[in-house]
Amino acid sequence: MLVTSSIPQEIVGALESQTFSLHIKGSAGTGKTTMALELVRLFPEDGQAVYLSTRVSPDRLYKKFPWSKSCIQQENILDARTSLFDQTKENLFEHVDKPSFLRKLYSRVSNITKEHITIILDSLESLKSNLKIPKSDLSVERHVIEIGERANANVIFISELSGESKLDYLVEGVVRLEKEIVNNRLLRKLYIEKVQGKRIENPVYLFTLKDGRFTCFENGIPINFAPAELPKVEKDKGRKISTSILELDNILDGGFERGTFNLFEVGGKIGVVHACILIPIAFEFILQNIPVFYVPSKGFSYLDVMRYFPSSFFTDDVFKCLNKYLYVFKPLRTSTKARTASYKEYPLRGMSFNEDLNSFRELAVKVLGEVQSDTLFVVLAMDTIEYIYGSKDLPKIIQTWMDEIKQLNGAMIVVQFEHESNKLPTHLADSYFKIENIAGNIVFYGEIPKTKMYIAASDITGRKANTKLVPIE
């Protein structure tokens, strides 16, 4: 039985066929051992592994990876630092040559009765050194692959190499793990260099080692749906307003603070997908009976909101909330309300910035009185503001919006795009976050305050939309 996996499907499909040989390579600390153990975990009921380690004892392995007990029995952890074949020996390789090692390995593997067997050699360099075999000699690798074929087992070689090696031509699959420092933050990448007989759909994946588990992210935004009742959200009476994103609330020490200006910078190759962060936040404020005033990006439409949610999400109650608490502003010449839209739409005429701001202020005061709210939430897309009023006084215009929203006790997000020539000074922002597309994933991280990198994933539970931020560790 195969369990749900966070391993790339190209690798999962290859291992299901059995007798597959895989080379996992990368420098120290890239997650090679964690990935190998995660591969064994793919078959929890009908699988078992023989794990030869030249670095850790069974006790240390179980302590670091307690979940591995279910897929690797202690007697199958071959501790190469002490005697494997005679427990009275202090050093396994003092009295063991290559033929003896191979015979003992085959004997151990052939005694396993499980359907899915995996042989893991961790690490190949240490094993060959202890057996006094030259690095260029591939005889051990060939014999272990042969043992795997005879025992109907998969074979996983782990090595400290990062470049091309002769072993890559001998095995059927090659995976390279890397850890990079990007913008002074850790980023982990998995490269699929070879899967014999399989088409490689995505050659690069991002992954994390959070909680000692190997979690590889799908390209794009994973979206999960689960049934639940509409949550009852009590209005926040303090200075902080929850964003609905648990990890972001923790970063902000509880949520956005009233009277703050928060800057979100969107990188290239993302487009309207950046809304996967903004939409759940806006919906959370609406559920807290906080009116939301939204000036969307030029390329963003009502249909872009709809496509993030199942049709069951938009019930009569949700439409009523949107109609009561969501106010969308668009340039006069593009203000064409969709037939299915349930929000209120207002034009920004663009003739005079002050006139448009006065209209917003009057509407905001009116709405706050009608819904009996003491705060509001505003999202401004810089490209639309520049399109309406030009780039000459853009920072001054945004600053005026900021001052006005602070007076209304509101929180504000300004979305600016990486390609824009006129960017806001970051020292004006109470918080400053970046959203980028890296290897097909939406990566989120903070400059103010400084944070690690996170992968964004959407989670829609009943009528509640959430974004989960998974840290890259």
Give the pLDDT confidence of 412-458 residue by residue, as tens digits: 999 998 877 677 888 889 999 999 988 888 899 999 999 999 998 77
Q: Supply the range of the domain harboring residue 396.
A: 223-471
Last residue of a domain, one of 182, 216, 250: 216
167, 258: one domain: no
CATH number at residue 302: 3.40.50.300
323, 439: one domain: yes
268, 392: one domain: yes
**DSSP state letters, 388-443:** HH-STTHHHHHHHHHHHHHHTT-EEEEEEETT-SS---GGG-SEEEEEEEETTEEE
Question: Which tops the pLDDT comparison, 129 or 180?
Answer: 180
Whether residue 3 lies inside any domain: the answer is no
Cα–Cα distance list, 336 to 128, 234, 302, 389 (Å): 70, 34, 10, 19
Q: Tell me the whole-structure pTM to 2 decimals.
A: 0.83
148, 272: one domain: no
Question: Is residue 452 within 8 Å of 459, Cβ to Cβ?
Answer: no
Last residue of a domain, one of 216, 235, 251: 216
Tokens, residue 19: 């007798």
Whether residue 439 lies inside any domain: the answer is yes
Binning pLDDT at 50, 70 and 90, where does residue 125 land? confident
Whether residue 129 lies inside any domain: the answer is yes
Peptide bond connecting 123 to the previous residue in cis, omega within 30 degrees of 0: yes
Interval 190-244: pLDDT, tens? 999 999 988 888 899 999 999 888 988 877 655 444 333 434 444 444 678 888 8
230, 343: one domain: yes
197, 247: one domain: no
Whether residue 303 lies inside any domain: the answer is yes
CA dihedral 91, 92, 93, 94 (to 10 degrees): 50
Left (φ > 0), alpha (ψ -120 to 50) or beta: where does 414 sit? beta
445, 359: one domain: yes
Q: Mean pLDDT, to the nearest integer, of 98-117? A: 82
Last residue of a domain, one of 175, 198, 216: 216
246, 161: one domain: no
Whether residue 238 lies inside any domain: the answer is yes
Whether residue 4 lies inside any domain: the answer is no
Interval 360-406: pLDDT, tens? 999 999 999 999 999 999 999 988 888 888 888 888 888 888 899 99
283, 415: one domain: yes
Whether residue 326 lies inside any domain: the answer is yes
Q: Where are the beta strands (DSSP E) in 110-184?
A: 116-122, 153-159, 173-182
Number of domains in the chain: 2
254, 147: one domain: no
How many CA atoms lie less than 13 Å away from 225 in the CB half-sphere? 8
Give the DSSP H/E element, type plus range, for residue 320: helix 316-325
Interval 247-287: pLDDT, tens? 999 999 999 999 999 999 998 777 777 777 888 788 888 87
Give the DSSP H/E element, type plus range, for residue 103: helix 98-110
322, 424: one domain: yes
Whether residue 228 lies inside any domain: the answer is yes
Binning pLDDT at 50, 70 and 90, where does residue 92 land? very low
444, 308: one domain: yes
Nearest partner of 190 among 441, 445, 452, judged by Cα: 441
